[in-house]
Copies of this chain bind each other. A is one copy, B any other.
Amino acid sequence: MNNPKQVLIVGLGLLGGSYAMGLTKAGWQVNAIDVDEYAIAYAKERGIIVQGATQKFESLVQNAKRIVFALYPTAFVEWVKQYKHLFQQGLIFTDVSGVKAGVVESIQEMLPQGVEFIASHPMAGREVSGVQNANTEMFRPANFIITPTEKNTPAGLAFAQVVAEDLGFARICSLSVQEHDKMIGYVSQLTHAIAVSLMCASDRTDLACYTGDSFRDLTRIARINETMWSELFLENREYLMEEIDAFTDTLQRLKGYLVDNDRESLQEMFHTSTQRRSAFDKK
Interface residues of A (CB under 8 A from B): 123-125, 141-143, 145, 171, 173, 175, 183, 186-188, 190-205, 207-227, 229-230, 233-234, 237, 240-241, 243-255, 258-259, 261, 263, 266-267, 269-274, 276-280, 282
Residue in A142, A195, A282 with the greatest tally of chain B CB atoms within 10 Å: A195
- Option from B220, B263, B272 in Cβ contact (under 8 Å) with A230: B263
Check if A261 sits within 8 Å of B241, measured CB to CB: no
Question: Are A266 and B230 within 8 A (Cβ)?
Answer: yes
* Known contacts A224-B270, A258-B233: A212-B142 contact under CB 8 Å: yes
In the bound complex, CA of A245 to CA of B229 (Å) = 25
The CA of A278 and the CA of B143, in the complex, are separated in Å by 27
Nearest B residue to A228, CB-CB? B270
Whether B194 pairs with A215 at a CB distance below 8 angstroms is: no
- A283 to chain B minimum Cβ distance, whole angstroms, is 9
- B248 near A263 with CB under 8 A, answer no
Q: Do the beta carbons of A198 and B194 come within 8 Å of each other?
A: yes
Kindly provide the distance from the CB of A248 to the nearest chain B CB, expressed in whole angstroms: 6
- Pair B223/A277 contact, Cβ less than 8 Å: yes
Name the contact of A241 in the complex, choosing from B205, B255, B273 (C-beta under 8 A): B255
Contact call B200/A186, Cβ cutoff below 8 A: no
State the CA gap A280–B196 with chains docked (Å).
Answer: 13
Q: How far is the CA of A237 from the CA of B216 in the complex (A)?
A: 23
Nearest Cβ on chain B to A242's Cβ, whole angstroms: 10
Closest CB pairs A-B (n = 5): A226-B270, A205-B279, A217-B217, A199-B273, A197-B251
